[in-house]
Structure formats: structure tokens, C-alpha cells
Amino acid sequence: MPENRRLAWRFLFGVWSALGLLLILQSYVATAGDGRDFTFTQHVMTVASQFYRAWIWAGLTPVIFWLRRELNRRHSNLVVVIALHFLAAVTCFAMGNVVRIWIIEITFGYWELRFYALSAVYTQLGAYSLIDFYIYWAILLVAYVTDVNWQRRQTELREEQLRTQLSQAELAALKQQVQPHFLFNSLNAIASLVREGQPTKSIEALAKLSSLLRQLMNYSGRPEIELWREYDYAQCYLAVEQVRFEERLVTKFDADEECLQALVPTLILQPLVENAVKHGIAQRRNPGRVTVTARRLGDRLQLQVANDPAEGGRHASEAENHGIGLSSTRTRLELTYGQHQKLEAVLNGPAGSIITIEIPLRFPEAAEKVEPISP
């Protein structure tokens, strides 16, 4: 606070010093038609007088700003407020000129007591002194515009904070929606192994699911994580599914080395990988591949999840594919990156389904140099 106040006073002093130069120029313009020749002392007094006037108003400016706010807060009647400001303008005009003339007399050595009487001071006031009356109203106008702009900025800031809080709440809700969904799918897959009488595979799948849940708990509070951690999540989930599908599920993870430390929304790949297994691999009798790739495209990161097409004459409808997985991913990207993201979905094509995401390429300030943990 003290440093900010010093900066404000320096700014105020600088502005009024510049206005003092304009007042000096205006003084010479106003007396240019008189034909008088000024002595050196008169020139110095003119310069000093206008600078003193400017600096006195520099001190009065915060008072006028405060007075405007206080009168508006205490009085709702506009006529009363204007009348009080008129009295304040007359007071500032009178007292400001009295102080200015006294300071000039002290500066130039006029120490006789009679020069400090109010009657003597007012004999030195001319029509030009009325400029101080108008200066008050000019400062009041600036105070009004400044306060209106400040209130508008505060309103915009509050609205932006509310929008941010709403977006964060929606993102958290979507994230919480994704986690139980994939957990349900994983447990359903393990339940299938139990029903098929495969206890060894069931135990193996439970162990891999436990490992995945442990990782999720470690980073559950982070909206963004490094890509290699996201790859670990997806690999753990596919490892669980691989126990179920065995050789029917082939996985491939490929990423540019520099992309592994890039930040991505937590669990952004998870629902896409689930859809790839559910709508692609689960509908095949022959082995099928799920491929996850990451590439750098200039200042953007491209993520892609692809799966081989389904077999047996059954293809999931586009509405099915646009369930919680794709729709929640699209919404999360829009809330996180706004217009700076892109999601394209090629569904049920001859080559299968391909989901492509592009987001800004960003890295943590201090990236954690830890090698990914294999599932």
C-alpha cells in the first residue's frame, strides 16, 4: 500500500506539473495584447505562481475525489449534491488563492504583516483567478469518469470471476462424471472374467485397476497433468481390458519426446480410449488395434485416439459414440481453452474411428522429470 501510494502521488505531481506549464502558457497568451514588457522578476513570479497553483490543486485533487464519493453516498438528492459541490468549489477557489498568494509573498521576501491580511490578498485577485473555480469542476468531472470506469471494471471483474467459478464447477462435475463411468466399465469387465470362471485373470485385472486408482488419487485435485501421466492412466486402463480381451486387443502409444511433458486436462484421453474399446474392439472377433498418438504442430499439441473398425455387421451409431465420452470431452475443451481448441471425430469410417484433439502447447514452469511408470 505505501509503495502504491507513493507511485500515485508521483503520478499526480507529474500530471499537475505538466498542467502548470499549460497554465503558464495561458497566462502569457492572456496578457499578450496588453503590450506590457515584463521584467525578469515578473517572469519568475508568473512561472512560480502558476506552478504553485498547479501543485495546490494536486493536493486538493484527492480531497475532491473523496468528497465526490462521500456526497454521493450520503445524499440521494442531486440538487443538494450540486449545491454542496458549489460551496466546495467557492471554498477551494478562495482558500487556494489565499494560500497561493501567501506562498508567493513568502518566496519572494515580502514579509510585512499587512500583506497577509485577507483584504490585502483579495485586492490581488483578478478575473483570471476565476480559473480556479472552473478547475474544481474539471477535477470533479474527472473524478466522476474515473469512479464510473472503476465500478465498470469491478463489475466486469466480478462477472469474470463468476464465469471462471462456473466453468471450474462444470469442469469438476464433468471430471467427476468421467471417473465413475470408467470405473464402472472396468469393474464390469472384471465381473465378466469372474462369471467366465477365470480367477487368475480377475485378480490380475483387479491389481492393475488398483494401480490405476492409486495414480488417480495422487493427482485427483489437479485440473491439468503432464501428458506422460495421462498416457499412464490410459495404459493402465487398457491393461485391465487386455486381461479380458487378450490377443484381440492390441495397443500402441506413440508421442514426440518433447510432448510428454506438455500439460493436458486430467483424464482427457480416458473416455476416448474407453469408446475405442467399447465401440471398436469389443465388436471384433479378430485382433484390433487402439492407437494413441501425440504430435507437436508448431505451438499446438495434437492428440489422436484411433481404433480399427468393428466387425460382424454391427457398428455403433454416431449418437452412441457421442455419449458421455465424446460430449464431455468436447465440453471440457471448450470450457478450458475457449476458441483455442479443436476436436474432430471421424466415426465408423472404413479405417475405423479417429478422434483428433488440438490444444495450445503449454509446459509446467518446473516440469517434473520423472519417467512414466509402465502398467
Question: Taking 70 as the threshold, does the pLDDT of residue 328 lie above it?
Answer: yes
Neighbours of 233 (CB within 10 A): 22
* pLDDT band, very low/low/confident/very high, at 299 (cuts 50, 70, 90): very high
Question: Taking 70 as the threshold, does the pLDDT of residue 34 lie above it?
Answer: no
Mean pLDDT to the nearest integer, 293-305: 95
Mean pLDDT to the nearest integer, 86-108: 80
Span of 168-182, 203-217, 317-331 with lowest mean pLDDT? 168-182
Comparison of pLDDT for 178 and 365, the residue scoring more: 365
**Which residues pair with residue 250 across a beta bridge?**
289
The residue extents of the domains of the chain are 2-125, 162-360
DSSP 324-369: HHHHHHHHHHHHHHTTS-EEEEEEEETTEEEEEEEEE----TT---
Report the topology of domain 162-360.
Answer: Heat Shock Protein 90 (3.30.565)
CA–CA dist 174, 308 (Å, integer)? 27
Strand, coil or helix: 108: coil
Contact 345, 326 (CB under 8 A): yes
Question: Taking 50 as the threshold, does the pLDDT of residue 374 lie above it?
Answer: no
Determine the pLDDT at residue 1.
Answer: 39
CA–CA dist 255, 229 (Å, integer)? 13
Mean pLDDT to the nearest integer, 135-163: 83
Contact 284, 247 (CB under 8 A): no
Comparison of pLDDT for 227 and 245, the residue scoring more: 227
pLDDT in tens, 44-55: 777 787 888 888
Comparison of pLDDT for 55 and 117, the residue scoring more: 55
CA–CA dist 361, 343 (Å, integer)? 15
Mean pLDDT to the nearest integer, 93-113: 74
Determine the pLDDT at residue 45.
Answer: 75
CA–CA dist 263, 330 (Å, integer)? 17
- Ramachandran region, residue 267 (left: φ > 0; alpha: ψ -120 to 50; beta: rest): left
Contact 28, 37 (CB under 8 A): no
- Greatest extent of the chain over all pairs of C-alpha atoms, in Å: 116
Determine the pLDDT at residue 290.
Answer: 93
pLDDT in tens, 259-277: 999 999 888 888 898 888 8
Nearest alpha carbon to residue 224 among 269, 286, 158: 269
* pLDDT band, very low/low/confident/very high, at 373 (cuts 50, 70, 90): very low
What contacts 89, CB < 8 A, 6 or more positions away? 133, 136, 137
Determine the pLDDT at residue 301.
Answer: 96
Comparison of pLDDT for 193 and 116, the residue scoring more: 193
Angle made by CA atoms 135, 148, 167, in degrees to the nearest 5: 155
Question: Taking 50 as the threshold, does the pLDDT of residue 370 lie above it?
Answer: no
Question: Taking 90 as the threshold, does the pLDDT of residue 185 lie above it?
Answer: no
Mean pLDDT to the nearest integer, 352-375: 71
Running DSSP on this structure, what letter comes out for residue 35?
-
Phi/psi at 354 (5° precision): -130, 120
The CA-to-CA distance between both ends of the chain, in Å, stands at 53
Contact 291, 249 (CB under 8 A): no
Amino acid identity of residue 66, one-letter, is W
The CA-atom distances, in angstroms, between 93 and each of 86, 112, 116, 143 are 10, 24, 17, 18
Running DSSP on this structure, what letter comes out for residue 133?
H
CA–CA dist 103, 129 (Å, integer)? 16
Q: In the chain, what percentage of residues exceed pLDDT 90? A: 14
Kind plus residue range of the DSSP H or E element containing 254: strand 249-255
Determine the pLDDT at residue 16.
Answer: 80
Determine the pLDDT at residue 118.
Answer: 62
Phi/psi at 196 (5° precision): -80, 0
Mean pLDDT of the chain: 77
Question: Taking 70 as the threshold, does the pLDDT of residue 107 lie above it?
Answer: yes
Determine the pLDDT at residue 278.
Answer: 82
Comparison of pLDDT for 315 and 275, the residue scoring more: 275
Amino acid identity of residue 231, one-letter, is Y
Angle made by CA atoms 348, 350, 355, in degrees to the nearest 5: 50
CA–CA dist 329, 335 (Å, integer)? 10
Residue found under cell 497553483: 53
Nearest alpha carbon to residue 160 among 304, 338, 365, 360: 338
* pLDDT band, very low/low/confident/very high, at 298 (cuts 50, 70, 90): very high
Determine the pLDDT at residue 360.
Answer: 94
Q: In the chain, what percentage of residues exceed pLDDT 70? A: 74
Determine the pLDDT at residue 303.
Answer: 96
Kind plus residue range of the DSSP H or E element containing 208: helix 199-218
Determine the pLDDT at residue 268.
Answer: 87
